[in-house]
Amino acid sequence: MTGIFFKGEKMGDTIAAIATPQGEGGIGIVRISGDDSLNIMKKILRPCPAEVKPRYAYYGNIVNPENENVIDEAICLYMKAPHSYTCEDVVEIQAHGGIVSIRLILRTVLDCGARMAEPGEFTKLAFLNGRMDLAQAEAVIDVIKAKSEMPLQIAERQLKGRLGTEISEIRESLRDVLAQMAVNIDFPDEDIEQVESQRFCEDLSKVKEKVQNLLDTCDNGRIAKEGIRVAIVGKPNVGKSSLMNALLGENRAIVTNIPGTTRDTIEESATIHGLPLVLTDTAGIRETDDVIEQMGIQKSHEEMEAADLVVLVLDGSKALSPEDVKILNQNKGQRVLVVLNKNDLGEAVSQDEVKDILPEAEIVQTSLLRLNGADAVTHRIQEMFLEGIQNMQERNIVTSERHRDALNRGMESIVDGMNLLEMGESIEICELQVHNAYEALGEIIGETAGDEILDTVFSKFCLGK
């Protein structure tokens, strides 16, 4: 993969970028990678010893070498190839985190021969130079973007190479099958053809099971990474916005006794025991002639269909109305948590009534006016989702749609190959399907990933990483 280019620039350039967030802070870091890194450091650091030792910290002033004007005080660290993040010579300049000073330092580094790094280029170099596989590289951005503890833990495990190791082992099994198929093709023996076909099916069946085990984690993996999409729905004035505010711990949604107050969806993020939630408060569902409110109600239905969990809030102090029954029926086939709210005013709706319409629904009874009224809801959500994900903690969890797509394509090819073998087709035809599976799984770790895949992956990174 050494022929990969960055927008016309060849690998081997010395690159530089600011590695810390833009803005004021205690420290700002300029990262340099490439053969000229150390020379650039020597040009701009005062004082700088003639012999710079790797992994030592050097304190001094960063200057403009053209006029020796001091830009800022800094500590410089030199990491000699291949013992660095990119496996190239790397220098990190740690200065004060001022906007002007850190940009002036970067400009000086660029004037000394480095070029501006592309987004994700440091990590791309780490991948291309063999320090990490592509799944590990993707885990870097997942660590950076993790919004709660659970996706962070999953990303950290992937960063250690656990997923890549499992994919490599599966591909090794496929390689063994391909090698044996090649023997059969090159040295055919009619007397053992059927026996060999059966053995190939058995070997592929074992691989299929391993791929399926990874695919089985995809839904929980997406939820752990992106959050549970929770649509809070119900008629007007049943407590939807009160629940939203209680889950957020702040008054984000307007709460009044006027029906139709919420006319558009309100989306916010929250966390339950490290598990991220994406909460959507929706417009109250009812018959109305108001065109704007009708549009909001349509969006409510769209959110219900897209949600991982529909939290249906009912006024439990009143008997089920035809509108309540209609909303319950509309959520058949969805994962639903029914909240029978306002039980401080009495309990006019029984859980059995709800179960008669939605047998699979989870149900809690509470009063959201009470101080801890939303606790029953959070506890039930935790029970519904957290346990399943925690049970996978020791397994590799697939969180990437790119990985899921590659696994699905690999699975399809394995199944097709097995079907062809069972139909008595020639080994040559079956071998093509096994090869396709091998290639598809290789995309996950970057072994068979083309430029388009790499560009897509690394375009998600920020500058300096």
Say what the pTM is. Answer: 0.80
pLDDT given for residue 129 in this prediction:
94
Does 241 belong to an annotated binding site?
A: yes
Does 237 belong to an annotated binding site?
A: yes
Does 240 belong to an annotated binding site?
A: yes
Q: Are residues 251 and 370 in the same domain?
A: yes
Contact indicator for 272, 149 with CB cutoff of 8 Å: no
Q: Is residue 244 part of a domain?
A: yes
Q: For 426-454, how does the pLDDT look when each residue is reduced to its tens digit (9 = 90+)?
A: 888 999 999 999 999 999 999 988 888 88
Separation between Cα atoms, residue 39 and residue 354, nearest integer Å: 73
Does 239 belong to an annotated binding site?
A: yes
Q: Is residue 463 part of a domain?
A: no
Does 366 belong to an annotated binding site?
A: no
Checking if the pLDDT of 418 tops 50, the result is yes
Q: Which two tokens stand for residue 23?
A: 């803005």
Does 242 belong to an annotated binding site?
A: yes
pLDDT band at 392 (very low <50, low <70, confident <90, very high): low
Checking if the pLDDT of 10 tops 80, the result is no
Q: Is residue 268 part of a domain?
A: yes
Does 325 belong to an annotated binding site?
A: no
Residue 145: give its domain's CATH number: 1.20.120.430
Say how many C-beta atoms besides its own lie within 10 A of residue 206's C-beta. Answer: 11
Q: Is residue 144 part of a domain?
A: yes
Q: What percent of the chain has pLDDT over 90?
A: 51
Q: Are residues 160 and 191 in the same domain?
A: yes
Its domain, for residue 19, covers 5-132
Nearest in space to 324 (alpha carbons), one of 192, 443, 412, 233: 233
Does 342 belong to an annotated binding site?
A: no
Greater confidence (288 vs 89) lies with: 89
Does 260 belong to an annotated binding site?
A: yes
Does 165 belong to an annotated binding site?
A: no
pLDDT given for residue 210 in this prediction:
97
Separation between Cα atoms, residue 51 and residue 218, nearest integer Å: 51
Question: How many domains does one find in the chain?
Answer: 3
Residue 128: give its domain's CATH number: 3.30.1360.120
Does 282 belong to an annotated binding site?
A: yes
Does 238 belong to an annotated binding site?
A: yes
Q: Are residues 268 and 155 in the same domain?
A: no
Contact indicator for 93, 29 with CB cutoff of 8 Å: yes
Does 257 belong to an annotated binding site?
A: yes
Q: Are residues 249 and 186 in the same domain?
A: no
Q: Are residues 60 and 16 in the same domain?
A: yes
Q: Is residue 464 part of a domain?
A: no
What is the average pLDDT across 209-227?
Answer: 91
Q: Which two tokens stand for residue 84?
A: 């660095």
